[in-house]
Amino acid sequence: KLAYICSEEQAMMVGIVGKPNTGKSTFFSAATLAPAEIANYPFTTIKPNRGVGYIRTPCVHKEFNVQDNPGNSLCIDGVRLIPVELIDCAGLVPGAWQGRGLGNQFLDEIRKADALIHIVDAAGATDIEGKLLKPGSHDPLEDVRFLEVEIAMWLTQIIKRDWAKMARTAESGATDLYALLEERLSGLSIKRAHIFEAARKAGLNAEKPTTWSEDDLLKFLDTLRRIAKPMLIAGNKIDLEPAEQNVERLKTSNYTVVPCCAEAELALRRAAEKGWIDYKPGDGNFNVVKPEDLTEAQNKALQTIKEKILIRFGSTGVQEAINTAYFKLLNMIVVYPVEDVEKLSDHKGRVLPDAYVVPYGTTARQLAYMIHTEIGEGFIYAIEAREKKRIGESYVLKDRDVISIASAKKRA
């Protein structure tokens, strides 16, 4: 069996969130519709509300002038599509933190997410609870604010129960506040580093938490939310008026905003799946392969997508949102582990078989452990393929590195 970095324990997961009727489910369906079959998905189990999406990156095989044989990903026309896990979170309504609607389910799902893509109805065609309205009737900035409040209040409920006791314990010197909060927030994908950075950014003294006012605590938790659950906005329904103007307004929220038309992306992927068009996720254009198979209505719909979405905005935005979540919000890079540094192959002779998505800052030895525990334990050195130079265990991997690892142990 191949060993993958993207096990359930290690994988960075992105949650797709939003109120009902924003196109959240359409976005998730489009994002997880496989462009082609991959022999081995890198996730052991996929639950009903989880799916396999892809990040898109230029493959290194052209740079090395070799023909690759991908195993854990796809390479189409020089583009690597690498599987990542997405969580389709329950539709959100105001009061979710109090259990309203599917609030408990929503909050249980976002606790597993490392970053969030907030699908916002940029056309303003749904009210705060997702009920349909005439386009332009609702301010999408309200949706951004209410999601912030829901997550902040959820964190507040978790912390406030024992806040006074934790504050006194921290000041007594028995243990520090970071350790106490990390324990309380365990299971929420919130790490000690997140907590430390939130206290620093909020300008609060972690050695004197009993002096924090209620406003200080709320400020801290809101800052923690932004750090531990970074979010971008997919301004959906960009094909409707006045979505384009609202996308510009959404940018004043200080989040990265990606114009998006999930419906168009789903239509293109389904057409590609049927072999009607040549299209890869994230392309800015497509070619009709079998015009004879298309009805007049289908051909017209595809041309409308090309003219109103692709030519105008450069893409449907779905793939851009996923890439931005992983590469910008989570600061991930792509590396290619190989066994034979000369042939860039594994022990089966497959060239550049695997592409791993790893956090920036990952070292050569950490990569060895990601491949297999025994390889990590027996790490001797690694070789960086471009310069053919030997590197040590503390070498920090760079994006698009091709790495061969020498180990005293071989994986089973």
Question: Which pLDDT does position 44 carry in this prediction?
Answer: 46
Question: By three-state DSSP, how is residue 151 classified?
Answer: helix
pLDDT at 43: 52
- Determine the pLDDT at residue 4: 35
Whole-number pLDDT of residue 90: 78
> Within 13 Å, how many C-alpha atoms sit on residue 249's CB side?
18
Residues of the chain with pLDDT under 70: 1-10, 37-48, 99-104, 410-412
**CA-based radius of gyration for the chain:** 23
Each residue of 287-320: pLDDT tens digit?
Answer: 999 899 999 999 999 999 999 999 999 999 999 9
Nearest to 264 by CA among 306, 320, 321: 306
What is the DSSP code string of 286-329?
-EES-GGGS-HHHHHHHHHHIIIIIHHHSS-SHHHHHHHIIIII
- In this prediction, residue 157 carries a pLDDT of 85
Query: The pTM is what?
Result: 0.91
State the Cα–Cα distance between residues 319 and 103, nearest whole angstrom.
28
- SS3 of residue 358 by DSSP: strand
Residue 231 structure tokens: 């979010």
pLDDT on residue 211: 95
What is the number of H-type helices and E-type strands within the chain? 14, 14
Instruction: Find, among 384, 389, 386, 388, the residue nearest to 404 by Cα.
Output: 384
Name 126's bridge partners: 132
Alpha carbon dihedral 181, 184, 187, 188, in 10-degree steps, equals -50
* Cα 156–Cα 160–Cα 161 angle in degrees, nearest 5: 130
Helix axes 140-160, 243-250, angle to 10 degrees: 40
Residues forming a β-bridge with 259: 235
Report yes or no: 220 and 163 within 8 Å, Cβ to Cβ: no
CA 325 to mean position of chain CA atoms: 4
Cα–Cα nearest to 52, from 30, 70, 71, 68 = 30
What is the CA angle 137-107-130, rounded to 5? Answer: 15
**What is the pLDDT, as a whole number, of residue 235?**
98
Q: Longest Cα pair distance anywhere in the chain, in angstroms?
A: 77
Using a 10 angstrom Cβ sphere, with 0-12 exposed, 13-18 middle and 19 or more buried, the burial of residue 403 is buried
pLDDT at 154: 84
pLDDT of residue 46: 57
Residue 252 parent element (H or E) = none
Which pLDDT score, from 0 to 100, does residue 109 have? 79
- Do the Cβ atoms of 379 and 405 come closer than 8 Å? yes
The SS3 call for residue 76 is: strand
Provide the H-helix boundaries in 161-234.
163-172, 177-184, 192-202, 214-228
Note if the bond before 135 is cis, omega within 30 degrees. Answer: no
Strands (E), 339-401: 356-359, 379-384, 389-391
